[in-house]
Structure 1
Amino acid sequence: MGSGPTGQLRQALPSLLRITRRFWPYIRKERGLAGGALGAMLLGVFIRLLEPWPLKVLVDSVLIRPPQPVTVPGFGTLSTSAVIAAVAVSVVIIVGLRALTAYASTVGFAVVANRVLTAIRTDLYAHLQRLSLSFHSTARSGELTSRVIGDVGMLRDVVVTAALPMLGSVLILVGMIAVLFVMRWELALLALVPLPILLIRSSQLSNRIREVSRKQRKREGAMASTVTETMSAIKVVQALSLEAAFLRAFGQQNSKNLKESAKSARLSAGLERSVDVLIAVSTALVMWFGARLVLRQELSPGDLLVFLTYLKNAFKPVQDFAKYTGRLAKASAAGERILEVLDRVPDVRDLPDAVPAPVFRGHVRFENVHFGYDRKRPFLRGLHLEIQPGQQVAVVGMSGAGKSTILALLLRLYDPTSGRVTIDGHDLPEYTLESLRSQISVVLQENLLFAASLHDNIAYARPDATRQEVREAAQLANADEFIMALPDGYDTVVGERGQTLSGGQRQRIAVARAALRRTPLLILDEPTNGLDRENEQLVMQALSELTRGRTSIFVTHNLQHASQADLIVYLEEGRVLERGSHSELLALGGRYAALYRSQSEAIAWEDESHAVPR
């Protein structure tokens, strides 16, 4: 069974401790500032314990007795007016010092929390980028965004607004209960009589609040995923008139989240009000018994007043527990979602003994490579392929034959199930991922441009490139002319994903990016797919310049383009079925020759159908 206002805290405690242990290295870096903030908090607790005592002096020494001089040790005899003035000034000093320490501890802990969680968010984002494609192919991007932005934000807010105040509340509670027992142990025990009832009531609600909090965070992640997916594919959504369907799905998730939020608020409010009532019962019992002690002259009125003030302040942390435990449950859920990502080990990562790769010559080998996205169903089956330095290789075949998979293995986006991929005779895992991928340029079928200037989009390939080098790369890619025709030239900012440019223009920017990188290996994955004839010719001209003198692998369905390669590899069902030059494969009369004839006839028929009769 759970326990009192701390019941939910106890339920969440293992999770919170695990989160704290996992993030301790971040906290340790801020130990100086955190120690200062903790010292200010402890000083504030001591000052809070002094607050009621001026009131006791005023009641017992001035208000109850007839006005007469008061002897104060160390200060001599003071008149009644002086005592009243001293009490008033002491109240201002005590409250002022408490406010100062509270300000110092609050600001100090807030700065620590923000620094720590900013570092965690940065590392979480970096870790997500390192996770393998096998993870990202199944994860929802909106859900991941929710973890980076929403969950870290939730954790930061709760640390500042709940966890640290609760720590102060615990210290105040312990200090005041200790003073209560020193002052009058009978009254202290009487004040704790309602505590078992409070524990039972809290335990009834604790698990429910925690479970509702978990559902809320999960549902908010689902909503973020829906929004992200809709916005990233807005063209398709509008073209297919799917707005109503997505709105309906989002509305259902939003309504369920509203119900969970209302339920959480209702449970938390019920717990807080229960605490209020039980505190009132405790106060009434102390007032009843304490007044009887005063009447019997076993306790002074000032002592009773101090006791009641302590009791009120001691139960204030208990009220805070009821308020903060719901927030801590949300923090627990958010922290677990963050750790779930941080604790995931990338399938592809640097080995402990990996070293930076030397400059590659470009000799690539696939030796008996087996690979499957599902390990039980191999996709590549005993693939053998050798590419000489500077050789231009076209990889062709029907859809699903494994063409793009070869490129992914060379980039080490995946590792083979068995067999090995080598460059210049060395296994790829021998090298660090950064040094490997920095020597391979890529032009894809759908190249992503960022919401930045065209200059920056090209320069992402090599951030230290000069402006002249960026323009030379664009000229090689046949992109300089259309860029200079834009209002701001190379400083023109393109829309998100480059949607303000045509497909051909985006491809030429991608070619410019690859040209600027100047790497010994080049990967081209259907770079002309979906382009019209004019843009296709411009891109192919640029690629012809780009591939000169480099080892290049060109995946394409267009055999007219493949025919220009030094070596053509025809894949079928994950195996190399045919290999050779264009003329050799035509002479072989196999699958490649049949497919080439079919494509040539289709192109001839298309040209004839579009010809203008004289």
Structure 2
Amino acid sequence: MSNRSTSDPDSTLQPIKLLWKLMSGFRAYYGRAIFALFVFTLINYATPLVGSATLDSAFSKSAPESPLTRQLIAWMGGAEFIRNHLWFPALLMIGLTLLAGFFSFLKGRFAAMASDGIARKVKDQLYDHLQRLPAKYHDRAETGDLIQRCTSDVETLRMALSSQVVDISNALLLLISAVPIMFLLDARMALISFTLVGPIILYGYFYIGRVKHLFLEVDEAEGQVTRVVQENLTGLRVVRAFARQEFEMKKFAEPNKLYRDRSLRLLRLMSWYWSTSDLIVLAQQGLVLLSGAWFISQGSLTVGTLFAFIMFLNILLWPVRQMGRTLTDLGKSAVALTRMGEILSEPEESKPPGNCVPDGPAKGRIEVKDLVFSHGEETAAINGISFTVEPGQTLAILGPSGSGKSTLMHLLLRLYDYQSGSIQFDDRELKDLDRQWVRSQFSVVMQEPFLYSKTIGENIRLGREGAANEEIQEAARLADIHDTIRGFPSDYSTLVGERGVTLSGGQRQRVALARALLRETPVLLLDDALSAVDAETEATILQALRQRHGKRTTLVIAHRLSTLSHADRVVVLEHGKVIQQGTHEELVVQEGLYRRLWTIQNAVKAEVELSTGDQSPIHPISR
């Protein structure tokens, strides 16, 4: 995944455009939050003004110079009334504080509703988009990094939207409203109060410029840690089988150290900002206090006005100081948005012109002609393959590792698109058919069957949603796994653990086969689906499949010739080309790879039978 330069103007605007798009449907909540913030700000400034008017009424014999304070005293009933009823301004300040708290609650509530809704929307979009991205994207993407982008980065965005958007509005409203009020109270004190506000803002601006790139580095380092952990947990059994715990610890230590070092650099820079900005804020408050005390001693300022300025500074300076943190978090969320945008900007699987979806059920006829496909390497994975499978027939595919067997299956499922040649499905070009429709016509058992962390029954039912228990059990019988399942303590309700870890390799394959058989599609693809089962179980499953011969087109990839010998036709691949083609009886008498493998496997079988005392003759498995 490429990282675009932060100096590119388009890369700066891109997160803003994406954010505005993601906020669709939730902008009204932010409007309500900002309105509540506006009312909260007005009330927040009214409270110190009431305190200022009370102090000036109680301790000053002369009328205040500020027209704003004089009007407020008059509105409260006059100086004499205030002096005789001090409970009234106290009660008024308590009421204003409670009202400000209520609007602060509304502000937070609306912002939280918007941010949580956007976070949920983003996660849904990311998850949905990842399901639709082509297989080539997932071939090069790192799972740990994708998890990081869909979880940690989304949480970073949620936190920014829940507070930073409102915080920026808060700081702007405070500045805009504070300036006229403070100048109406006393122009000299207003100028002194804003002496160090500019330096605070400038310091925050330069700080965010330095810290922004660090957020990307920390995010990438965290993604590396997540990737290593994910790989280790996925392959935990392999790690223990090879006693590689110490090696894995060292492998984990390197990205973990990198993450720690980058995080410390970020924290050191942040600590400098906080300490320096604190010093500036306290210096500003001290300057106002000393200046006010001097003006009071000269008789040109009232105690109430100084009280108002000190309170205003407490209200104003801390949000302005927080702008550095706010801008920092916004910088971090911009990085997170960019990383999420990289996923969302990836093109989904291409759709054919017209996105053809044939009417009626498919027959299952497959014709491959001069097929060529390459993963990008110089050597083609498939180079000129041709064969035909009629509806209901069984085609067996044999070949050494790397000969293109699994790649052919992937092309039939349209996980990849071939560069040249043709695949006809029911006399229609496969590239012209809708991908989802094509995949709905195939039942597949992959070379490495994947089971979800669900019950056995739920894993089989994935083949056809809503299938009755009797249908699930019948599919399990065909896959020769029913009796095994009934022997588990919880029967079909037995949890299989993540990736089916509680089952043996052969049991996982048979559960996956039952899932595929339950689906009842026109075509069944078996990619070395019986490699982990014993010979007796394999014979039982093949017998069950032979009884269903003619009901669906079946393509079988296997290395054991006993699995392939029942097929109507066998295709032998080598280096992406068809080197032999025919029935089992035809190929076993021809010179070539098939006959050599048959001789070797029969010789091995004979040795095993002699060592166990079984002298039964060896015969090819008939169809």
Same fold (TM over 0.5): yes
Residues 71, 78 of structure 1: 8 Å contact kept: no
Specify whether residues 345 and 367 from structure 1 end up closer, same or farther in structure 2 by C-alpha distance, changes over 3 A only: same
Residues 60, 302 of structure 2: 8 Å contact kept: no
Specify whether residues 546 and 120 from structure 1 end up closer, same or farther in structure 2 by C-alpha distance, changes over 3 A only: farther
From 578, 581, 605, the counterpart of 2:580:
578
Residues 538, 563 of structure 2: 8 Å contact kept: no
From 26, 39, 44, the counterpart of 1:43:
39
1:18 maps to 14
Residues 12, 328 of structure 1: 8 Å contact kept: no
1:473 maps to 475
Task: Tell me how far 1:103 sits from its aligned partner.
Answer: 0.5
2:24 maps to 28
2:437 maps to 435
State how far apart, in whole Å, the 1-side matches of 2:94 and 2:187 are: 30
Query: Unaligned 5+ residue runs, structure 2?
Result: 1-5, 64-71, 617-623
Residues 526, 555 of structure 2: 8 Å contact kept: yes
Q: Is residue 2:59 matched to residue 1:63?
A: yes
Residues 556, 562 of structure 1: 8 Å contact kept: yes
> SS of 2:151's equivalent?
helix
State how far apart, in whole Å, the 1-side matches of 2:614 and 2:604 are: 18
2:350 maps to 349
Residues 173, 315 of structure 1: 8 Å contact kept: no
State how far apart, in whole Å, the 2-side matches of 1:197 and 1:485 are: 76
1:124 maps to 126
**Match for 1:424: what amino acid?**
D
Moved more, 369-378 or 434-443: 369-378
> SS of 1:577's equivalent?
strand
Specify whether residues 199 and 55 from structure 1 end up closer, same or farther in structure 2 by C-alpha distance, changes over 3 A only: closer
State how far apart, in whole Å, the 2-side matches of 1:196 and 1:172 are: 15
Residues 287, 308 of structure 1: 8 Å contact kept: yes
Task: Tell me how far 1:373 sits from its aligned partner.
Answer: 0.9
- Cα deviations by residue, 1:22-63 (Å, 9 ceiling, x for unpaired): 243442212333332222122212222212111111121112
Residues 294, 300 of structure 1: 8 Å contact kept: yes
Specify whether residues 33 and 159 from structure 1 end up closer, same or farther in structure 2 by C-alpha distance, changes over 3 A only: closer
**Match for 2:173: what amino acid?**
L
Task: Tell me how far 1:550 sits from its aligned partner.
Answer: 0.8
Specify whether residues 479 and 119 from structure 1 end up closer, same or farther in structure 2 by C-alpha distance, changes over 3 A only: same
State how far apart, in whole Å, the 1-side matches of 2:507 and 2:476 are: 11
- Cα deviations by residue, 1:300-358 (Å, 9 ceiling, x for unpaired): 43233323322332211122112333333322222222112121123x33346314344
Specify whether residues 161 and 422 from structure 1 end up closer, same or farther in structure 2 by C-alpha distance, changes over 3 A only: same
Residues 367, 382 of structure 1: 8 Å contact kept: yes
Q: Is residue 2:115 matched to residue 1:113?
A: yes
Task: Tell me how far 1:287 sits from its aligned partner.
Answer: 3.8
- Cα deviations by residue, 1:431-486 (Å, 9 ceiling, x for unpaired): 33222211100112321111111110100111121222212221222222111121
Task: Tell me how far 1:199 sits from its aligned partner.
Answer: 5.3
Specify whether residues 208 and 541 from structure 1 end up closer, same or farther in structure 2 by C-alpha distance, changes over 3 A only: farther
Specify whether residues 24 and 611 from structure 1 end up closer, same or farther in structure 2 by C-alpha distance, changes over 3 A only: farther
> SS of 2:422's equivalent?
strand
Task: Tell me how far 1:184 sits from its aligned partner.
Answer: 4.1
Task: Tell me how far 1:298 sits from its aligned partner.
Answer: 4.6
1:393 maps to 395
Matches within 5 A, 1:194-593: 194-195=196-197, 197-198=199-200, 201-202=203-204, 205-295=207-297, 297-346=299-348, 348-351=349-352, 353-358=354-359, 359-374=361-376, 376-545=378-547, 548-593=550-595
Residues 177, 314 of structure 1: 8 Å contact kept: no
> SS of 1:523's equivalent?
strand
State how far apart, in whole Å, the 1-side matches of 2:224 and 2:451 are: 27
> SS of 1:350's equivalent?
coil
> Could you state the TM-score of these two structures normalised by the residue count of structure 2?
0.89
Q: Percent identity?
A: 28
Matches within 5 A, 1:74-223: 79-195=81-197, 197-198=199-200, 201-202=203-204, 205-223=207-225
Query: Unaligned 5+ residue runs, structure 1?
Result: 1-9
Moved more, 550-559 or 199-208: 199-208
**Match for 1:590: what amino acid?**
G
**Match for 2:355: what amino acid?**
A
Residues 515, 546 of structure 1: 8 Å contact kept: no
> SS of 1:318's equivalent?
helix
- Cα deviations by residue, 1:136-163 (Å, 9 ceiling, x for unpaired): 2222222222222222122212322434
- Cα deviations by residue, 1:530-574 (Å, 9 ceiling, x for unpaired): 332233233333443455421111111222322221111111221
**Match for 2:478: what amino acid?**
L
State how far apart, in whole Å, the 2-side matches of 1:74 and 1:287 are: 27
State how far apart, in whole Å, the 1-side matches of 2:488 and 2:584 are: 41
Residues 571, 578 of structure 1: 8 Å contact kept: yes
Task: Tell me how far 1:11 sits from its aligned partner.
Answer: 8.8
Specify whether residues 517 and 388 from structure 1 end up closer, same or farther in structure 2 by C-alpha distance, changes over 3 A only: same
Moved more, 130-139 or 517-526: 130-139
Residues 522, 547 of structure 1: 8 Å contact kept: no
> SS of 2:239's equivalent?
helix
Q: What is the root-mean-square deviation in Å for CA atoms of aligned residues?
A: 2.8
Specify whether residues 15 and 43 from structure 1 end up closer, same or farther in structure 2 by C-alpha distance, changes over 3 A only: farther
- Cα deviations by residue, 1:187-221 (Å, 9 ceiling, x for unpaired): 43433333554456445543442232222211111
Residues 357, 436 of structure 1: 8 Å contact kept: no
Residues 197, 317 of structure 2: 8 Å contact kept: no
**Match for 1:532: what amino acid?**
D
Residues 370, 419 of structure 1: 8 Å contact kept: yes
Specify whether residues 202 and 322 from structure 1 end up closer, same or farther in structure 2 by C-alpha distance, changes over 3 A only: closer
- Cα deviations by residue, 1:46-89 (Å, 9 ceiling, x for unpaired): 2222121111111211122289xx97348578634554222111
> SS of 1:72's equivalent?
helix
State how far apart, in whole Å, the 1-side matches of 2:29 and 2:325 are: 27
Task: Tell me how far 1:16 sits from its aligned partner.
Answer: 7.1
Kindly tell me the number of residue pairs found equivalent between the two proteins.
603
Residues 424, 430 of structure 2: 8 Å contact kept: yes
> SS of 1:137's equivalent?
helix
State how far apart, in whole Å, the 1-side matches of 2:174 and 2:397 are: 72
State how far apart, in whole Å, the 1-side matches of 2:154 and 2:317 are: 31
- Cα deviations by residue, 1:258-291 (Å, 9 ceiling, x for unpaired): 2322332221121012112222333344344444
Specify whether residues 461 and 349 from structure 1 end up closer, same or farther in structure 2 by C-alpha distance, changes over 3 A only: farther
Specify whether residues 543 and 39 from structure 1 end up closer, same or farther in structure 2 by C-alpha distance, changes over 3 A only: farther
1:7 maps to none
Task: Tell me how far 1:365 sits from its aligned partner.
Answer: 2.0
Residues 201, 274 of structure 1: 8 Å contact kept: no
> SS of 1:487's equivalent?
coil
Moved more, 368-377 or 232-241: 368-377
Residues 511, 543 of structure 1: 8 Å contact kept: no
**Match for 1:349: what amino acid?**
S
State how far apart, in whole Å, the 2-side matches of 1:287 and 1:419 are: 85
Identify which of structures 1 and 2 has the higher relative contact order when contacts are C-alpha pairs closer than 8 Å and 6+ apart: 1
> SS of 1:52's equivalent?
helix
